[in-house]
Amino acid sequence: MFLAGFGVVVAMLVANGAHGFNGKVGFMTAFAFLTGGVTSMVAGYVGMMIAVYTNARCTVSAAQGPDAIAWRESFNAAFRGGSVMGFALSGLGLLVMYVLMVIYSWMYAFETEAVELFECIAGFGLGGSAIALFGRVGGGIYTKAADVGADLAGKVVAGIPEDDPRNPATIADNVGDNVGDVAGMGSDLFGSFAEATCAALVIAAQSVDLVSAGWDTVIFPLYISAVGILVCMAVSFVATDFQPVRNEASIERVLKTQLTLSTLGMTLAMYPVCMMYMPDQFYLGSKTYATACIGMSSSKCVSGGAHAAFACIAAGLWGGLLIGFVTEYYTSHSYYPVRELARSTETGAATNIIYGLALGYKSTIVPVGVLAFCVWISFSMMDMYGVAMCALGMLGTLATCLAIDVYGPICDNAGGIAEMAGLPDEVREKTDALDAAGNTTAAIGKGFAIGSAALVALALIAAFVTRCNVLDGGVNLLNPAVFAFLLIGSMLPYWFSAMTMKSVGIAAMEMVKEVKRQFDTIPGLLEGTPGHAPPDHARCIKISTDASLREMVPPAMLVISAPIITGTLFGVEAVTGLLAGGLVSGVQLAISASNTGGAWDNAKKYIEKGGLYIDVPKRERSHADPPEGPFTGAIVRNVDGSPQMISVRQRKGSECHKAAVVGDTVGDPLKDTSGPAVNILMKLSAIISLVFCDFFMSINQGHGLFNLQ
Amino acid sequence: MFLAGFGVVVAMLVANGAHGFNGKVGFMTAFAFLTGGVTSMVAGYVGMMIAVYTNARCTVSAAQGPDAIAWRESFNAAFRGGSVMGFALSGLGLLVMYVLMVIYSWMYAFETEAVELFECIAGFGLGGSAIALFGRVGGGIYTKAADVGADLAGKVVAGIPEDDPRNPATIADNVGDNVGDVAGMGSDLFGSFAEATCAALVIAAQSVDLVSAGWDTVIFPLYISAVGILVCMAVSFVATDFQPVRNEASIERVLKTQLTLSTLGMTLAMYPVCMMYMPDQFYLGSKTYATACIGMSSSKCVSGGAHAAFACIAAGLWGGLLIGFVTEYYTSHSYYPVRELARSTETGAATNIIYGLALGYKSTIVPVGVLAFCVWISFSMMDMYGVAMCALGMLGTLATCLAIDVYGPICDNAGGIAEMAGLPDEVREKTDALDAAGNTTAAIGKGFAIGSAALVALALIAAFVTRCNVLDGGVNLLNPAVFAFLLIGSMLPYWFSAMTMKSVGIAAMEMVKEVKRQFDTIPGLLEGTPGHAPPDHARCIKISTDASLREMVPPAMLVISAPIITGTLFGVEAVTGLLAGGLVSGVQLAISASNTGGAWDNAKKYIEKGGLYIDVPKRERSHADPPEGPFTGAIVRNVDGSPQMISVRQRKGSECHKAAVVGDTVGDPLKDTSGPAVNILMKLSAIISLVFCDFFMSINQGHGLFNLQ
C-alpha cells in the first residue's frame, strides 16, 4: 500500500525532470522502486521463515547424541539457518537487479543512453531503502516497545520477572526479536547493498570511457557482490565441515574465523577480477581520458584503473573488518572497557550511565578514523567512483555478516524453545553458549552496518553531485547556503533520534497500560490461580504493531521531506550541505548510541555471570547470621582504624546488578532503535536526493525556488 | 607558568612563518597572547572577589526592613554584584585591547601594514581562549568532581545528605560553584568576545577598501562592544531603580526584561553607529571595489555597507535572545518538556534518562535553525565579515548576560550564609526565591554562550580562510582530504566529551576515597560525637584542584594539537575541514548536553517543590494506618474490577524523586563539564589555526608535509 502510493509520487516527481515531462523515466524509476521494495520484502520474509523453522532444529540437534556431535550439529543448524538469510538476501538482490538491468537495456540503448538507463535503476536502491525504513525504524520501535514495555510492566505493575508466562507482553517481546534482529538488520544491509551498487552504476554511466569499455566494465560493481557470494559460500564450509565446533570455547573463534577468512578470500579473489574488467585509463566524466587528462592532475583522471579499483575494494574490506573488531572491543565483556563499566555500578546507576555515555563517545574514535582513511584513499584514487567501490568492498562479505547476525536470534529463540519444552538443563546450557557467542559477533555486525552505511551514504552523495553537473566546480564549504545547511543537516540525526526514542517511550507506556488492564480485568491472572484464563497476547502484539506503524510516520516524514524541501526551495548546493552534515554527525551518533547500548547490555550480563567483585568492609559474625555468611556484625578494623576489606561477588539482585539494569534499559532504545535508525537517515535522504536530482535541476537550474546564487 | 611556556612556543612557531623567520611578529603575537591571558584572569579574579563579598551583603539586605524593601535591596545587591563582573570583564577587555592596538600601531604603520598589525593582535584572542580552557575545562572538572564526589560520598559511604557539615567534601563543593559558574562562564564569554573581535579585525585588515576608509572603520568591531557596554549600563538602572523588584513573582520578569531591553536598546543604538562608520561600498579582499566588483556578483562585494552591517548585528542580537528563550523553554519546569520529564520518573530512572536524552536532542532543533539562519543571512550580506559582525552582535548584550549569570551563584551562596548564620526562615525564603529565578535565567545564559561560541568559531574559521589566501577559490567539500577531515573533526567533540566525562568520574572517585579515609580515621566524625575533630576540608579541596589540573591535560592537548598536527601534515584545506566538522557536530553536542542536564536538574527540583502527582490505586484504611493516611488496606475497585485511582503528590524521598536524582547526577557532568567545554573546543582549535596560519603556509605552500594536492 505505502509502496504503491510512494511509487506514484516518485513517478510524478521524477518524470517532471529538467528536460520537461518525461513519463518513461518516471514510470521506469517507479517500477525499479517497486521491484527493489518487493525484493527486499521477499528476502526478509524468507529469512524470517527460515529463522523460525531453524529454532526448533537447533534445539533438537543440541539435545541428541554425544556432546561433541551435539555441539557441532546445533551450531551447524543455527549457522546454516543464518546463511540462508545471508545468501537469499544477497543472491536475490543481485539476480533481480541484473534482470532489471537487462530488461531496461532493451528500452534504453546501453551505448547511447547509459545515463538514463542507470538513473532509472537507481529507483531499485530507493525501494530497498524504503523497506529498510520500515524494517529498521518501524521494526526498531516495535521490538523495543515490546521489550521495554514487557520489562516495565513486569517490574512496575506486577513485580514479576519480564519473561514470566503470566506477563501478556512476553510474546510481543519474542516476536520483536525476530522483527528487529532478522528483518531489520537484513533490510538495512540489503538497502546498503542496493544503494551502493546504484551509486556506483550511476557514476560509471557518466563516464564516457567506462561506457565505451563495454557493459561488463560498467556493471563491474555487480561482479564485486557476485564474487562476494561465491567466496562466502566457499568459506562457510570451513565452519560447518573443515573446522567444526567441538565445544563451547571454539564457537566464538569459529565465527570470527569466518569473517576474517571471508575478508581474506575476497581480497585474493578480487585482484584477478579487477585486472580482468577494469580499463587501465579512464576519465570519470563526460569527456575522454585523452581530451581531459593530458597534462592535468585530477582525481577524476584514473590511470592504473585495475590497481586503483582493487585498492579501494581492499580498503573497504579490511576497514569493515577493523571497525567490526573495534566495536567488539568496546562492547564485549571480555575486554577492559565493559569490565570498567560494570565496576562503575559500585557507586550506583548514575555513574554507570555517565561511564556508559563516555564509553560510547570514545568508541567513535577508531571507526571514524578508519572511515576517514577509507574515504581519503578511495577518493584520491578514483574520485567518487572509488568511494562507491570502497562501500561495495565493505559489503563484499555481506553474506557472511548476515549469516552471523541472524545466527544470534536463532540461538536465542532455540534456548526459549528448550526452556518451554522442558528439555534437560544441558541442552539449555548449549543454546545459551551458542547465543553468547552470537551476541559478541552481533556487535561486529552492528559496527559493520554503520560503517558501510556511512560509506554508502557518501557514495550516494557522490552520485548525486555527479548527476547534477552544475556542481562540477566543486561544492564550496564556505558558501552561505552550504554551510547553513551543513549545520541543519548535522542537527537532523539528533531530531530523528529524539523522535524514535520518544516513540519507544510512548509505545512502551501503552503496553504497560494494557498489561495493567489485563491484570486488573482477567481474574486470577496475576495471582497465577490454576485454571485462570490465559493472557491476551494478541492484543499486546497488536499494540506494538499499531504503535510502531503510527510512531514511525513522523521520523519517516522527516527523512523523506528534508532533502526534498531543501532541494525545492534552496537548490542542489544546499542539499549537498544537508547530506554531508547529516552524514558526519549521524555517523558519530549511530556509533556511540549502538556501542553505549551494547556495552550496558554486556556489563549487565557480566554481573549476572558473576564476573564483578566489590571490596566491602569485613564484618564479624553476629548471632543471627547463617554459618556461611553474609555476616552483619561489627566491622573488623586494622590497627590504624581503617576497616579490613574483603571482595564480594555481585550477583543478580545485588545493588550493582540493579544499577546495571537501569543502564541496560536506557541502552535498549539507543542500540536497537535510534542508533541503527540513523543509518537509514543517512542513506535514505541521500538516495532520495539522487533520484530527485533532475526534479531539483528543473527549478531555476538547481538553484531552488529562492534562486540562491 | 603555563601561559609563559605556551607563549614561548607560540612565539617560535608564529615567527617561523611563510616569509622566513620573523622574530618581530612572533614576539608581538606572544606579547598579545600574554596580555589577553592576564586580562582574562584579572577580570575573572575581580568578579570572583566581588561575588564572594556580595554574598554577605545580599543576605544582610534580605534580613532588614519591611518586606518590599528587603526584596528590592537584596535583589539589587546581588544584581549589582553580578553587574560588576559583567562590566569589569567587557570593559577591561575592550580597554586593554584598544591600548594594545594603539601601541602596536606605532610598530606597524596602519596604512601599509594593517594585515601584520592585526595578525599580531590575534594573539590576544588566543590568550583569552587559553584561560577559558582552564576556566571551563579545568573549572568544570573541579566543580563537578567536588559536587559528584560530595554527593556520592554522602550517599554511598556514609548515608548522610550531601550538604551535611560532617561531609569533608562540602566546602570543596561550595568553592566549585564559584569556580565553575563565575570564573568558568566569565572566561568562556571573555574568550568569545576577544576572539570575535580578533576575527573581525583580521578580516577587515585584509580589505584594501576598509583600511583606506581609515582607522575608525577597521576598528568598528570595538565600537559594537563599546556601545553594548553603554546600553547595558543604561538598562541596568531599569532593574535597580525604575522598575525594582517588590515581591517574589516579579524577580524572573525583571531579569528577563533586562535581557530583552538590552537587546532592543542595542538594536536602536547600533543603527546610527553603523551609518556613521561603515563605508557604503567595499570589497572584502586585496582589491578595491571598483576593480573587483564591476559587473560581478560576489558576497565579498558589499554595497550598502552600513545597512548590511546593521542587519548582521541585529540578526546576532535577536538570534541570541531567541536561542536563550528556547533554552529556557526546554530547561525550566514552568513549561511542558521538563514537566513531562518529571512525569517519566513514574516508571523509574531508566525512562527518566531516555526521556532526558531525547529532550536534549530535540532542543537542538530551534537553536541550530536560528544559527543556520544567522550564518546564511550574514554570510550572504558581507561574506565572512558578516559572520564576525553577527557574533559580535550576539555578544553585544554580554554585560547584561554576565550580570545575570553571576547573580545566580551570589544568591545561591547568600542562602548558604543565611543558613549557616542561623537567620530567620523568611530570610532563607527570600534568598531561595532569588536563587530560583537565577537558575532559570542561567539557562538562558548557557544557550547564549553556546550560540555565540558557534558563531565565533565560524568567524574564526572565516578569518583563517581569509588569511590563508591559498583558499581563495573556496574550500571544496568534495575534496578527499576536506571530507575525511570533516569526518574526523566531527568526531573530536565526542572524544573530547568522553575525556572530560571520564575525568569527572575519576576525580569524584578520588574524592569518595578521601572522604571514606577521613571517616575511617577521624574518630567520632561520622557518628557526630560532640567535640570530635573537624573534617579535613583543605585536603578535599586539594584533591579537586590537583585532579582538575591533571585531568584537563589530555583534553587540552587534544584541542591544541589536533589543528596543529593536521595543518603540519595535511595542510590548510584539511584544517578547514577539521574545524568545520568540529563546529557542526560540537554545536549539537554542546546544546543537547547542556539542556539535558539542565532539564534533569529542574525535573528533580519540580518534584522537590511538590509539582508531580501520580495516580495510584485507592486503598481502604487498614487497622494499623494513621487517620490521615497513607492507607494500606485492600484496593477499592469499580464494578468492572478495575481499581479506582487517586492522585498522590510525590515528594523528596519518593521513588519518583530517587529516579529524578539519578538523572540529576548524570546531568551534572553533561551540563557543567563536557557540554560547555565543547564551546572551548570549537573556538580554541579555530583560533589556534588562525594564529598558526603563516606557519602552515610555510610548509609546501599550505599543503602540509604530505604535500596533498
Residues of chain B numbered 276-335 and touching chain A (CB < 8 Å): 297, 299
**Interchain pair A585, B584: CB under 8 A:** yes
- Residue of chain A with shortest Cα separation from B355: A502
Mean pLDDT check: name the lowest of A181-195, A243-257, B336-350: A243-257
Mutating which of A588, A658, A671, A672 best tests the B interface, going by the most B Cβ atoms within 10 A? A588
C-alpha cell belonging to residue B240: 535597580
Among B475, B480, B502, the residue with its CB nearest the CB of A358 is: B502
**Interchain pair B643, A495: CB under 8 A:** no
> Closest Cα partner for B564 from B704, B424, B377?
B704
Whole-number pLDDT of residue B148: 81
Whole-number pLDDT of residue A463: 82
Among A347, A368, A481, the residue with its CB nearest the CB of B491 is: A368
* Residue B358 forms contact with A (CB below 8 Å): yes
Q: Compute the nearest-CA separation of B64 from chain A (Å).
A: 42
CA distance A333 to A359: 13
* Residue A669 forms contact with B (CB below 8 Å): yes
Q: Are B372 and A484 in contact (CB under 8 A)?
A: yes
**Interchain pair A662, B353: CB under 8 A:** yes
CA distance B226 to B97: 12
- Residue of chain A with shortest Cα separation from B670: A354
Q: Are B116 and B26 in contact (CB under 8 A)?
A: no
Query: Where would I find the beta strands (DSSP E) of B320-390?
Result: none
CA distance B425 to B419: 9
Q: How many CB atoms lie within 10 A of CB B237?
A: 10
Among A348, A369, A491, the residue with its CB nearest the CB of B588 is: A491
Q: Are B278 and B270 in contact (CB under 8 A)?
A: no
Q: Are B346 and B656 in contact (CB under 8 A)?
A: yes
**Interchain pair B505, A355: CB under 8 A:** yes
**Interchain pair A494, B576: CB under 8 A:** no
Whole-number pLDDT of residue A2: 57
- Residue of chain B with shortest Cα separation from A667: B354
Backbone angles phi, psi at B57, to 5 degrees: -55, -45
- Residue of chain A with shortest Cα separation from B524: A641
Q: Which residues on neighbouring strands pair with residue B646, listed in sequence order?
A: B616
Chain B residues with CB under 8 Å of A484 CB are 372-373, 375-376, 379
3-state secondary structure of B619: strand
Question: Max alpha carbon distance in chain B (Å)?
Answer: 97
Q: Are B397 and B259 in contact (CB under 8 A)?
A: yes
- Residue of chain B with shortest Cα separation from A641: B521
For A664-673, what is each residue's pLDDT tens digit? 989 988 988 8
For A476-502, what is each residue's pLDDT tens digit? 888 888 999 999 999 999 999 999 998
C-alpha cell belonging to residue A498: 529524539
* Residue B527 forms contact with A (CB below 8 Å): no
The complex's ipTM works out to 0.90
Q: Are A350 and A619 in contact (CB under 8 A)?
A: no
Which residues are CB-contacts of B253 (< 8 A; sequence separation ≥ 6)?
none
Which of the four pLDDT bands, split at 50, 70 and 90, describes residue B473? low
Is pLDDT of B18 > 50?
no
Among A361, A497, A641, the residue with its CB nearest the CB of B495 is: A361
Mutating which of B298, B362, B373, B490 best tests the A interface, going by the most A Cβ atoms within 10 A? B490
**Interchain pair A509, B347: CB under 8 A:** yes
CA distance B420 to B430: 15
Whole-number pLDDT of residue B59: 85
C-alpha cell belonging to residue B328: 529556557
For A227-277, what is each residue's pLDDT tens digit? 999 999 999 888 888 888 877 778 888 888 889 999 999 999 999 999 988
Do you know the residue count of chain B? 709
* Residue B531 forms contact with A (CB below 8 Å): no
* Residue A385 forms contact with B (CB below 8 Å): no
For A633-667, what is each residue's pLDDT tens digit? 777 777 776 777 777 888 777 888 889 989 998 99
DSSP A536-562: -HHHHHHHHHHHHHHHTHHHHHHHHHH
**Interchain pair B487, A372: CB under 8 A:** yes
In this prediction, residues B437-442 reach a mean pLDDT of 76
Q: How many CB pairs under 8 A join A and B?
A: 255
Whole-number pLDDT of residue A315: 95
Q: In angstroms, how far is the first alpha carbon of chain A from the final one?
A: 40
Please write down the HEC assignment for all residues of B103-140. HHHHHCCHHHHHHHHHHHHHHHHHHHHHHHHHHHHHHH
Chain A residues with CB under 8 Å of B505 CB are 344, 351, 354-355, 358
Chain A residues with CB under 8 Å of B354 CB are 501, 504-505, 665-666, 669
Mutating which of B491, B594, B672 best tests the A interface, going by the most A Cβ atoms within 10 A? B491
**Interchain pair B362, A474: CB under 8 A:** no
Is pLDDT of B16 > 60?
no
Among A350, A488, A669, the residue with its CB nearest the CB of B372 is: A488
Which of the four pLDDT bands, split at 50, 70 and 90, describes residue A316? very high
Residue-averaged pLDDT of chain B: 84
Residues of chain B numbered 566-585 and touching chain A (CB < 8 Å): 576-577, 580-581, 584-585
Residue type, B144: K
pTM of the model: 0.91
In this prediction, residues A115-122 reach a mean pLDDT of 82
Whole-number pLDDT of residue B569: 92
For B391-425, what is each residue's pLDDT tens digit? 999 999 999 988 888 888 888 888 777 877 778 88
Is pLDDT of A427 > 50?
yes
In this prediction, residues B356-378 reach a mean pLDDT of 94
Is pLDDT of A18 > 50?
no
Among B361, B476, B504, the residue with its CB nearest the CB of A475 is: B476
- Residue of chain B with shortest Cα separation from A519: B642
**Interchain pair A465, B483: CB under 8 A:** no
Mutating which of A296, A300, A354 best tests the B interface, going by the most B Cβ atoms within 10 A? A354
For B527-550, what is each residue's pLDDT tens digit? 667 777 777 888 888 888 888 888
* Residue A706 forms contact with B (CB below 8 Å): no
DSSP B628-678: T----SPBPB-TTSPBPEEEEE--TTSHHHHHHHHHHHHHHHIIIIIHHHH
**Interchain pair B475, A480: CB under 8 A:** no
**Interchain pair B375, A484: CB under 8 A:** yes
Name the residue with higher pLDDT: A178 or B222. Answer: B222
* Residue B414 forms contact with A (CB below 8 Å): no
**Interchain pair A666, B592: CB under 8 A:** no
* Residue B487 forms contact with A (CB below 8 Å): yes
Query: Where would I find the beta strands (DSSP E) of A253-300?
Result: 281-283
